[in-house]
Amino acid sequence: MRYCWVSLRRKRATPPFRGMAAHSPNPTPVRTIMRISARNQIKGTVVEVKKGATTSHVRVDIGGGQIVTSSITNEAVDDLGIKAKGPVTVVIKASDVMIAVD
């Protein structure tokens, strides 16, 4: 599973948060395995991605006619390759809803 940590202060890719090996002059993508403390992880399928100026609303079907919506940055949507009909994991921690992909 690949996770994306979005920092508004840092634009440069740094391992392991953005899946890039930044120590070389030409960073290459690497797969990082991360464990997460959030226990509420629900597999689902992306129904729709609505991009705004800076933030996207990702609607995820988690089964049983239930839809979960997450607001994440456009950069995170692009980095994670989130698209309609794609499989994702909804990660819920406190009042935040994050998206994870395999």
pLDDT tens for each residue of 62-91: 999 899 999 999 999 999 999 999 999 999
Domain membership flag for residue 17 = no
Q: How confident is the model at residue 3 (pLDDT cuts 50, 70, 90)?
A: very low
Domain membership flag for residue 25 = no
pTM over 0.75: no
Domain count, the chain: 1
Domain membership flag for residue 5 = no
Domain membership flag for residue 4 = no
Domain membership flag for residue 30 = no
User: Which one, of 40, 47, 79, 76, lies nearest residue 61 by Cα?
Assistant: 47
CATH code of 53's domain: 2.40.50.100
Domain membership flag for residue 21 = no
- The per-residue pLDDT for 25 is 59
Residue 15: cis peptide before it, omega within 30 degrees of 0: no
Domain span at residue 76 reads 36-100
- The per-residue pLDDT for 83 is 97
